[in-house]
Structures are given as structure tokens and as C-alpha cells.
């Protein structure tokens, strides 16, 4: 069936109408694919020139580090805490150079990871009438299905749909989740939160601070899940799954399936974050770059559009965003500053930071706005 929104448009009004028509379907990108679209509609293609602007890395062995957390609890006197120290060193090096690493033996059982991916698939592949009910652009709604949070502001839309679940500080009621992924979303969140606390300990230690420093700064106070579905795409070269951006949070724990397509920009080259069975991808967000005074890097990343196989990923974001505004000010951590390392950023609230990020849509670095 011919979809009304795929007709090419040239004027601003037509462009707006296409966006609105797409939004009004309440079925996201998958709805287009289900409708038999054979060409990528214009709203997903325009201004995607940046996609080719940085060549892929020729060094196929260049990889973000994979860190084994298996011996993390080993800080006993008889080993002199060597194992944990070694992990902290690896985390520090990864955060300084790549802002990205993968972890294995992280304590979340494989069945939980698999079921979280399956639950995400079940939701996105549910019949239209069930899914539509959850479609919303209301940012205060704790559980909602949406496609392209910046649909009306971005220069082009991403080939991606998402179920958003705001889990902390005030979780939704169980009945607010779609039945297809209710139990696993609640269960996975608990595991992800615990892992998040462990990661904040490692990051604190890697900054030379006491283990609970970042937790006490309330970096883990807010947490939400983005259960992404990147539908099969008829022309993957014409669009992108998720355009290049940095994450406007403290930390992201990402569960990706085996499909691939996630890339990070290292030394101006895109390198693949290759799926590793059982691993989780960890990345530093802008707020951690700010509080670490640039020691840890928030690195640009993107997701290519898939071909014939849909891609599933679940991103767990640590930030209170704009939903739960707190007055707490975040600036470079005093304990790590010195005469040689003076503060290079102004203080900000998380809410203000998120507003500034949204104004820039992650296209120009928000951190520059706060640079002294």
C-alpha cells in the first residue's frame, strides 16, 4: 500500500505535514515498514550528509576495551586488592581515551539480558491497536511509546522507535507498563540499578575519590530505560538508526543484540562496538565529563540503520533529566581540582543542562556552553 507520507516534498509546509502525518499514525517507523514502504521517506533522509563525513576506521582491530568485572569484589588483604585495583585502572584508561567500554561478568544473568531483549521485541511487534495506546509525546508520562523525541525539531528523523520507562526516583505503577514487557522491565531495572551503583563506585575510585562519592552526589538518583527497536530498513544507506550524538546524562548501560551497527567516534574515525555475547556497553555521558573536569570523555556515537533484520537495544540512562528537577548544582568536583587543574566548567543543575541539550539536539556540544 502506498503510504501518504512518502511523497517527496520541497516546501517547509509540506515537510511539516509529513512529520505530522507520521506522528498521527502513532505507529512509529515500524508502522511504515508494516505498510510495505519500499523507499525511505524524505523526513528520514534529508541532511544526512554527515553520515559519510567521517570515514570508518581502517584498523578493524581497534576496539573499545572489554573489561572483566568478575574479580571486582576481590580487594581482600591477602591479594592486596590487586584485582579490584586492576579493574579500576582499566576503567580509568577507557574513560579517559574512549569514554566507552564493554563489561563481562557484570552480575546480570544471561537469561535476564535475553528476556529484556525479547520483551522489547514483543512490545514493538505487538498488534497496532495495543501499541498505539502507549504512543505519546508527553514527557511527564512515565511509560510511553514514541518515535524520535525530537521529531519536530531535528533536521531529519531517526529510523527508530522507543519505549521509554522512567524508573527512578519514582517508578511507575506496574499496571502502567505494557503487559508484554512489564515483569522483565521491572526486574531488569533492579539489576541495572545495582550495576549502576557498582559502576559509579569504580568511576569514583578511578577519579581518586572514595567509592561512594558519585552516589552521594546523587548521580544515580534518576534512571530511565529506552527500549529501542530499529525496524528492518529497505534503504539503509539513505538514513540512520540514531544520528551522531553524546548522551546528556552521567552514565549509560547499553544492552545491544547481535545485529551490530553501534559506532563511536575515536580520533575522528568511526569504530564499531562489536556485539559481545553477554556483554553490556558502558559509556560516559556529558554530565560526568563536566564533573570530572574533562578527565572522562563523553564521546559521540551513532547507530547505522539495519538491513533486513531489525535491531534491538535497551539503553539505561542515569540522570533525573527535566522530569524531577532538583536544585543541586553540578560542577567540576572540588576534590580533583588544583592549581594545575582549575575548573573549566560553570556549575549547572541537571534540568538546565538538559534544556540546553534539547536546544542543541545534541548536534553541537552542550558542554561548550558551560565552558569557562
C-alpha cell at 162: 522507543
Q: Per CB under 5 A, does 286 bind Ni ion?
A: no
Q: Per CB under 6 A, does 103 bind ligand OGA?
A: no
Closest distance of CB 88 from ligand OGA, Å: 25
Q: Name which of ligand OGA, Ni ion, none residue 254 binds, using a CB cut-off of 5 to 8 Å depending on partner kind.
A: ligand OGA
Closest distance of CB 2 from ligand OGA, Å: 30
Q: Name which of Ni ion, ligand OGA, none residue 303 binds, using a CB cut-off of 5 to 8 Å depending on partner kind.
A: ligand OGA
What residues have CB less than 8 Å from 131, skipping those under 6 apart?
A: 26, 27, 123, 124, 145, 178
Q: Per CB under 6 A, does 247 bind ligand OGA?
A: yes
Note whether 303 and 231 are within 8 A (CB).
no
> What is the C-alpha to C-alpha distance for residues 5 and 17, in angstroms, rounded to an integer?
8
For cell 576503567, the residue is 91
Q: Per CB under 6 A, does 226 bind ligand OGA?
A: yes
Q: Per CB under 5 A, does 247 bind Ni ion?
A: yes
Of 290-309, binders to ligand OGA (CB under 6 A) are: 301, 303
Q: Per CB under 6 A, does 228 bind ligand OGA?
A: yes
Closest distance of CB 335 from ligand OGA, Å: 29
> What is the C-alpha to C-alpha distance for residues 204 and 208, in angstroms, rounded to an integer?
6
Nearer to ligand OGA, 83 or 188 (CB): 188
Closest by CA to 228, choosing from 151, 309, 113, 121, is 121
Q: Name which of Ni ion, ligand OGA, none residue 205 binds, using a CB cut-off of 5 to 8 Å depending on partner kind.
A: none
Q: Name which of ligand OGA, Ni ion, none residue 228 binds, using a CB cut-off of 5 to 8 Å depending on partner kind.
A: ligand OGA
Closest distance of CB 240 from ligand OGA, Å: 12
Q: Per CB under 5 A, does 115 bind Ni ion?
A: no
Closest by CA to 372, choosing from 329, 336, 327, 332, is 332
Q: Name which of Ni ion, ligand OGA, none residue 265 binds, using a CB cut-off of 5 to 8 Å depending on partner kind.
A: none
Closest distance of CB 246 from ligand OGA, Å: 9
Q: Name which of Ni ion, ligand OGA, none residue 226 binds, using a CB cut-off of 5 to 8 Å depending on partner kind.
A: ligand OGA
Binding site for Ni ion (CB under 5 A): 247
Binding site for ligand OGA (CB under 6 A): 226, 228, 242, 247, 254, 256, 262, 301, 303, 313, 315
Amino acid at each position: 500500500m502506498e503510504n501518504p507520507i512518502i511523497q517527496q516534498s520541497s516546501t517547509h509546509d509540506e515537510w511539516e505535514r509529513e512529520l505530522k502525518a507520521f506522528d498521527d499514525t502513532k505507529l512509529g517507523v515500524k508502522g511504515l515498514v508494516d505498510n510495505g514502504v519500499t523507499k525511505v521517506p524524505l523526513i528520514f533522509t534529508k541532511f544526512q550528509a554527515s553520515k559519510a563525513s567521517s570515514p570508518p576506521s581502517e584498523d578493524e582491530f581497534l576496539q573499545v576495551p572489554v573489561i572483566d568485572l568478575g574479580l571486582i569484589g576481590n580487594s581482600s588483604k591477602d591479594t592486596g586488592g590487586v584485582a579490584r585495583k586492576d579493574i579500576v585502572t582499566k576503567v580509568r584508561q577507557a574513560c579517559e581515551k574512549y569514554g566507552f567500554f564493554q563489561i563481562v561478568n557484570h552480575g546480570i544473568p544471561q537469561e535476564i539480558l535475553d528476556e529484556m531483549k525479547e520483551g522489547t521485541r514483543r512490545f514493538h511487534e505487538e498488534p497496532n491497536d495495543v501499541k498505539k495506546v502507549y504512543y505519546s509525546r508527553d514527557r511527564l508520562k512515565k511509560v510511553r511509546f514514541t518515535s524520535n523525541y525530537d521529531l519536530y525539531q531535528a533536521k531529519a528523523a531517526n529510523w527508530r522507535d522507543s519505549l521509554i520507562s522512567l524508573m527512578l526516583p519514582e517508578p511507575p505503577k506496574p499496571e502502567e507498563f505494557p503487559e508484554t514487557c512489564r515483569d522483565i522491565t521491572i526486574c531488569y531495572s533492579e539489576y541495572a540499578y545495582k550495576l549502576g551503583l557498582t559502576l559509579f563506585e569504580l568511576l569514583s575510585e578511578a577519579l581518586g575519590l572514595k567509592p561512594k562519592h558519585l552516589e552521594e552526589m546523587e548521580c544515580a538518583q534518576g534512571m530511565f530505560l529506552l527500549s529501542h527497536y530499529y525496524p528492518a530498513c529497505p534503504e539503509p544507506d539513505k538514513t540512520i538508526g540514531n544520528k551522531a550524538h553524546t548522551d546528556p546524562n552521567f552514565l549509560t548501560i547499553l544492552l545491544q543484540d547481535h545485529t551490530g551497527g553501534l559506532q563511536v567516534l575515536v580520533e575522528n574515525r568511526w569504530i564499531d562496538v562489536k556485539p559481545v555475547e553477554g556483554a553490556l556497553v558502558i559509556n560516559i555521558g556529558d554530565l560526568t565529563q563536566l564533573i570530572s573536569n574533562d578527565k572522562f570523555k563523553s564521546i559521540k556515537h551513532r547507530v547505522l540503520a539495519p538491513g533486513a533484520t531489525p535491531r534491538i537495544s535497551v539503553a539505561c540512562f542515569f540522570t533525573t533529566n527535566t522530569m524531577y528537577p532538583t536544585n543541586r548544582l553540578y560542577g567540576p568536583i572540588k576534590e580533583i581540582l588544583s592549581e594545575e587543574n582549575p575548573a573549566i566548567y560553570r556549575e549547572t543543575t541537571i534540568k538546565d543542562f538538559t534544556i540546553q541539550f534539547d536546544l542543541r539536539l545534541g548536534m553541537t556540544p552542550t558542554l561548550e556552553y558551560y565552558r569557562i
